[in-house]
Structures are given as C-alpha cells and as structure tokens.
Amino acid sequence: MRTQVVIVGGGPSGMLLGQLLHRKGIDTVVLERRTREHVLSRIRAGILEQGLVALMGEAGVGDRLKAESYLHEGTLIAHNDQMFGINFQNLIGQSVVLYGQTEVTRDLYDAREKAGAEIVFEAEDVSLHDADSDAPFVTYRKDGEARRIDCDFIAGCDGFHGVSRRSIPAAVRTEYEKVYPFGWLGILSETPPVNDELIYANSKDGFALCSMRNASLSRYYVQCSLGDDVGDWSDTRFWDTLRHRLPDEVGEALVTGPSIEKSIAPLRSFVSEPMRWGRLFLCGDAAHIVPPTGAKGLNTAASDVHYLYQGLLQFYQEKDSEGLDRYSEKALARVWKAERFSWWMTSILHRFPDQSPFDLRMQAAELAFLRDSEDAQRVMAANYVGLPY
Ligand code: APR
Ligand code: PHB
C-alpha cells in the first residue's frame, strides 16, 4: 500500500492534521494503537485557544464546537482567602473557548469517517523505517496480519509514550525535562460548576482548580502527592480537600456529588529537539509535554499541526520544501514559550515540598503583582489566550 502521509497516532494532533490534509486532497492513513472508544474515554483539558478554534473551522469540524462551546472572557485566581479576576477580553480583546478535548477528538473522528478517509484502529507494533531516506515506510500488524505502507512523509502524532520520537536516533535527539514533585487528582461530577469561570487556587495546603465541561458537568482538580493512588481518595476526601483549598465564599457554594471519573496525572515539562528527522515530523505530545496549568497541551499540539500542515501544503502544491525545512525551528519557537508559561503558572500556584519561607514570599509577591498590575495581567492574558502562530 502507498499513501502520501502516514499519521501515527489518532489523538487530537493526528486527527486534526489528517482532516486538514484530507480537505486539500492530500492522501493520509492514520494508524491508532487503541480503539476509538478507548481514545474517547480519555478525560483531558477543555480550554481551546482561538488558533485551535480557527483550525477546527478550517478542517470543517467547527459546527458543534461553535454551537456547544462556552466563551470564557477571563479566569479567577485565588490565593488563600483572596480572589481576583483577570479579564482577557477587557485587557487584550481576546477570549478562550471551553470545549472538552474529548469532543474535539470525537468531532474529528466523525469527520474522517464521513469523508471515508482511512484510519486503522488497534494497529499493533507500528514501526517506522528509513525515515531519514527519500523512501520511508511504516509497518504494523492488524488482526495478526503484517502490513506495510510506503509514503512520502511520516507524522509522529503518537504522544509521549509513542514510537515516533524513539525512532529518531538518541544521538540526534536532545531532551529537556522537569518532573514536578506532585500530581493532579481530577474528578468529573454531574454537578453544576461552582463558578461560570475557572478558578485557579493557591492555598496553604496546595493547588486546586475549578473547571467544567458544561452547566451540569464539573471538572475539579487538587494537587496531590506523587505517591498517592486514586484508591486513597474517596469522594468525601476529595470534596473536603477541594473545599478547604478554596476561598470560604467559593467553598460554601460548592455543590458536591458522586465522581463519574477520577484519575491522577503526573506533571512534567518535556521537550525533545529536533521535531524533524528526515521525512519524520513529530507533532504534539510526541515531542513535548507541559504541566496542565494553563491548558497548553492540546493548544501547543495545534500550532505544531498548523506549521506541519502549511509545510506539507507548500511541498505538494508548490513543490517548495521551505516550510518543511523550517518546521522544527518554527514549532519549537512557540513550544518553548508555552513551556515557559506552563512552568510559570505551575510555579506560582502550587506548593512545593522544599519551599523555604522566602520561596513562599516570592510566590505571594508574584500573585500580588499579578493582582495589582494591569501590565502583569496583560502578559498573562496574552499567554493564556495563546500567542500568535
Ligand atoms: N502506534 C499507534 N498509535 C499510538 C502509538 C503507537 N505506537 N503510541 C501511542 N499511540 C496513540 C495513542 O493511543 C493516542 O491515541 O497516539 C495517540 C496520541 O494522542 P495524545 O497522547 O492525546 O497526543 P496528541 O494527539 O499529541 O494530543 C496532545 O492530548 O494527551 C493530550 O495532554 C495532551 O492535550 C494534549 C493533547
Ligand atoms: C480542564 O477543564 O480540564 C482544565 C482546564 C484548565 C487547565 C487544566 C485543565 O489549566
């Protein structure tokens, strides 16, 4: 079999790239290790930058997003019992959109199915071959049958644990990593959100986040220890911990209920350079990871997809490889700014085990400056709503 672009990974990155290319008549095959149901069972962040919203529109999958998403003009920041708002719309004339990442992926699956474009679920043992040559190919197994796809390019959209990044020789790769000394315990509950905007809270006992999916589905997180197991956290313990980390007036308004999903995620910052090796291009979590504070994971994957999509278009339509040759440089320039912002948000909002009294004062001063300075708020707003592509 032959195609123009093999896309390894059927998460948001791979599916968005596949849909954009398909609409321009560029032939792709998506190879996804898991089932559609499994991928859609993953609960991920729900804040979309306008750049991603625009890409979804360009991909022809913006209708449900437009109909069912919520515009968020700002966010709230709480520090112990004090809380202040940052209104992105008033400060810089831009907002973000709240729409579950699962729904982004679902819309892209539906569009690909409707277009009749190929996606192979439960593709096993995907292996990349001759990516540094002009004749790359990918092998995999499906229902026990060995298969091969020859292609022009391979898009490695298979996430942090995928095969693509590891297909680049270690001698070629430079990896940067910071592992945070805590995790996030998240729950989903069929309860009305405590506030119609998100609340990021730094309390003396640790971080908490109040988010949502819609008016009757709330998403909450509390910072937890790395050694914690989900089994250590009853719903009652979660709700008590969350309420304790929020300002009193918010905690009193909290509507609790049974969790319908509960999971712990570790936090890390990670970047692997370069994002290209021969005819292999890494996109999204395959190349970089951010802590979820500020919801930059999917949104940074989206800018990777934008740069790669533009580079492939330029190659196929104009026979010009300039966009592909500059892909890694352009993608990484924005990736590192998202890494910085996510690290900064994480640093000012969480309690670190080794924090000295001076460190705590620095955190308090950072939050006070953000509360009191419109300039500081503009800088945060510009990063939160998404820097230009
Ligand atoms: N072969 C085929 N598919 C694979 C392989 C493999 N060897 N390894 C992983 N995959 C699939 C996974 O099952 C997953 O569906 O690749 C997909 C990668 O999707 P994500 O991990 O979601 O990464 P990405 O598409 O880049 O999306 C980034 O999603 O994970 C969140 O926080 C992340 O918001 C960010 C966004
Ligand atoms: C979420 O809604 O899951 C969410 C929102 C903002 C974040 C992280 C997660 O920074």
Per-residue pLDDT reduced to its tens digit, 61-101: 999 999 999 999 999 999 999 999 999 999 999 999 999 99
258, 279: one domain: no
Model pLDDT, residue 118: 96
Residue 191: which domain range? 180-267+353-385
Q: For atom 7 of ligand 2, which residue has the closest CA? A: 295
Q: What pLDDT, in 10s, does the model give residues 254-313?
A: 999 999 999 999 999 999 999 999 999 999 999 999 999 999 999 999 999 999 999 999
Model pLDDT, residue 87: 98
| Residue 358 within a domain | yes
Rounded to the nearest angstrom, the gap between the alpha carbon of residue 41 and the centroid of all alpha carbons in its chain is 15
Rounded to the nearest angstrom, the gap between the alpha carbon of residue 95 and the centroid of all alpha carbons in its chain is 18
Q: How far is CA 10 from CA 19, 162, 251, 327, 328, in A?
A: 11, 11, 39, 21, 21
Q: 3-class SS at 349?
A: helix
Q: Which residues of 282-295 are buried (b: 16+ CB within 10 A; e: fewer)?
A: bbbbbbbbbbbbbb
172, 206: one domain: no
Q: Which helix (H) or strand (E) holds 181?
A: strand 174-189
| Residue 89 within a domain | no
Q: Separation of 285 CA from ligand 1 center, angstroms? A: 7
Is the bond preceding 353 in cis, omega lying within 30 degrees of 0?
A: no
Give how many domains the chain has, as a whole number.
2
* 341 alpha carbon, closest ligand: 2
Does residue 288 have an active-site annotation? no
37, 124: one domain: yes
| Residue 83 within a domain | no
| Residue 87 within a domain | no
275, 323: one domain: yes
Ligand 2 test: best mutation among 209, 219, 267, 296, most atoms within 8 Å of CB?
209
208, 309: one domain: no
| Residue 85 within a domain | no
19, 102: one domain: yes
Does residue 45 surpass a pLDDT of 90?
no
357, 340: one domain: no
| Residue 172 within a domain | yes
Model pLDDT, residue 349: 98
Q: Separation of 359 CA from ligand 1 center, angstroms? A: 36
329, 212: one domain: no
Cα angle, residue 255 at apex, residues 249 and 257 outer, rounded to 5°: 150
199, 275: one domain: no
Q: pLDDT grade, residue 43 (50/70/90)?
A: confident
- Whichever domain contains 300, its CATH number is 3.50.50.60
pTM, 2 dp: 0.97
Specify the residue for token string 């940052």. Answer: 86
Does residue 194 surpass a pLDDT of 90?
yes
| Residue 41 within a domain | yes
Does residue 44 surpass a pLDDT of 90?
no
Model pLDDT, residue 269: 98
Q: How far is CA 389 from CA 49, 213, 273, 341, in A?
A: 11, 26, 19, 16
273, 231: one domain: no
252, 378: one domain: yes
Q: What pLDDT, in 10s, does the model give residues 306-346?
A: 999 999 999 999 999 999 999 999 999 999 999 999 999 99
Name residues contacting ligand 2 (CB within 6 A): 45-47, 198, 211, 219, 292-295
Rounded to the nearest angstrom, the gap between the alpha carbon of residue 366 and the centroid of all alpha carbons in its chain is 25
Model pLDDT, residue 132: 97
| Residue 48 within a domain | yes
256, 147: one domain: no
3, HSE (Cβ side, Cα atoms, 13 Å): 24
Gap between the Cα atoms of 275 and 173, Å rounded: 9
Gap between the Cα atoms of 366 and 37, Å rounded: 43
Tokens at residue 269, please? 């910052």
Q: 3-class SS at 323?
A: helix
Gap between the Cα atoms of 204 and 351, Å rounded: 7
- Whichever domain contains 194, its CATH number is 3.30.9.10
Report DSSP state, residue 207.
E
